[in-house]
Amino acid sequence: MEFDAIVVGAGPAGALSAMLLARQGHRVLLLDKARFPRDKICGGALSPAAIPILERIGAWSRLSASALRLEGIRLVSPEGRACEGRYPGTEGVPPFGLSIARLSFDDVLVQLAQLEPSLQFTDGTMVHELLWQGDRCVGVRTAEGPLRARAVVLAEGRFSRLHPALLRRSRGRKRRVFVAAFEGVEGLDTLLELIVPRARRQLVLNPQGPTRAAIALVSTEGDPPHFGPAAVEGYLRLLREEPALRGRLERAVPLGVLHGLSLEPYAGEVLPADGLVVVGDNVRYFDPLTGQGMYRALRSAELASDLLGAALREGLPTRQRLAPYGRQLAREFRWAYRFSEAVASLSQSETVMNLAVRALAAQRGLADRMAAYQGAVLPPQRFFLDLVRLAAPALPKQ
C-alpha cells in the first residue's frame, strides 16, 4: 500500500502533522521507534501560545483537567534575589501555560490522532533509511521492508539520523541538560522557576502538582553521576547540595529515572528535497531554558500540514510548491531563535543575571513582559528593545 504521507516520529510535531493531514482526507502512516506510551526528556512546560493550538485540534478538553496551569515565571539570580513575572494574556491567548509530563502529553496526542480513520499508527518500528527516486524522497525503509509515500515528514527530534543536511555546530564548552521528576518538593506554586546559582549552571523547576516537579539542570561543569539504576538518587543528592534549593528537597523522592542529553546547536533545511518536509525539533536547535520547545514544535506542524495537505491534493509535493512553508517558518521563528540564543547566553553570566533580576524586581511591568516573551505571548523581537531598557541604568553615563 502506498500512503499519501509517512510521518517519522510520534512526538508532538509528528503526531500533530499526521493528525492534521489525516483530517484533510490523506492516507497517513505515523511511525515511532519507541513503544507508546513512552517518556521523553523534557521539562514538560507548554507556553500560553500553545493553548489555542490545543483548542483548535480538540486536545484541550483531554488535557485541561489533569495538567497544572502555569501563571508566569520566577527568576532567581546568583546573589539569591528573585523577581516574578505573570503571563498577561492577549486576544486569543490565555494568561497561563500548562505543565504536563511528556509521558501523558504525547500519549494524548497519539490517541487523538488514531481517531482519524485514514491514519495508521505503528510504534516500535525503526526507520533505517529514506527511499529515493532520483532526487525525490518516495518513502522509508524499516526492518519489514520498504514503505512508499508521496511525501515523508521528518519529526525525529534533535537527534535526527535521517535528515540529509543537518549541520551541528559545536561552540565552546559543551552544555548538558539533565531532568528528573520528584514528589515531595517544597515551595512550589504556579510559576515556572529559572534559578541561576552561578555561571555555567542553571536550574529549571517546572511544577506538576502541589509537591511534584520536574527539575532540570543545565550545566557546562561536567556530568552529574553516571547513568544507571542509581543515577537519579545521585542527581537528587547533587540538587540538595545547591544553596538555592536548600530545604526544598529534604522530603523529595524520585518518580522515575534520570534523563540527560548534550545541547549541541544545529540547523538544517526544512525542505531538503522534493517530497521531504521537516518539522519540530528537526528544524533547528531551540534552547530548553526558554520553555518554548513544544509550542514551536506544534506550530511548525500546523504550518507544514496546511501546505503539504494542499500540495498532496494537487499532485506530487515539490520543494517549489512547499516553499511558502519555509518562508512562514522563517517569518514566525527567526526572532524566536535569536531570543533562544540570547537567553542561553545571558543566563551564563552571573553579573548579567544579578543586574537583570535587580532591575526586573523593581519594574513589575517589565517583569511581566519578560514572562510574556518566555511564554511566546509577545513578539520576541520586542525582547531586545526591553533588554536595552533593562541595561540602560547600568551603562556608564557620558
Give the CATH number for residue 48.
3.50.50.60
Cα-based angle 13, 14, 18 (whole degrees, multiple of 5): 120
Q: What tens digit of pLDDT does each residue of 4-37 get?
A: 999 999 999 999 999 999 999 999 999 999 999 9
Q: How many residues does the chain have?
A: 398
Q: What is the pLDDT of residue 227?
A: 54
- Quick check: helix, strand or coil at residue 354? helix
17 found inside a domain: yes
Cell numbers for 270: 526544512
Number of domains in the chain: 1
- Asked whether residue 337 is domain-assigned, the answer is yes
Q: Look at residue 282 and tell me if it is in a domain.
A: yes
Q: What's the pLDDT score for residue 393?
A: 65
Q: Are 86 and 71 in contact (CB under 8 A)?
A: yes
CA 91 → CA 49, 94, 126, 377, distances in Å?
Answer: 11, 8, 42, 10
Query: For position 112, what pLDDT does the model report?
Result: 97
User: Is the residue at 230 inside a domain?
Assistant: no
Q: Is residue 232 part of a domain?
A: no
Q: What is the residue whose three cell numbers read 511534584?
A: 212
Q: Quick one: CA dihedral 185, 295, 267, 102, positive or negative? A: positive
Within-domain flag for 54: yes
Q: Tens-of-pLDDT digits for all 398 residues of the chain?
A: 789 999 999 999 999 999 999 999 999 999 999 999 998 888 889 999 999 999 999 999 999 888 999 999 999 999 999 999 999 988 889 999 999 989 999 999 999 999 999 999 999 999 999 999 999 999 999 999 999 999 999 999 877 788 776 656 555 557 888 999 999 999 999 999 999 998 888 999 999 999 999 999 998 866 555 555 578 999 999 999 999 999 999 999 999 889 888 887 777 788 999 999 999 988 887 888 888 889 999 999 999 999 999 999 998 899 999 999 999 999 999 999 899 889 888 888 899 999 999 999 998 899 999 999 999 999 999 999 888 877 766 555 55
**Residue 122 domain flag:** yes
The parent domain of residue 107 ranges over: 3-68+98-168+265-343
Tell me if 24 is assigned to some domain. yes
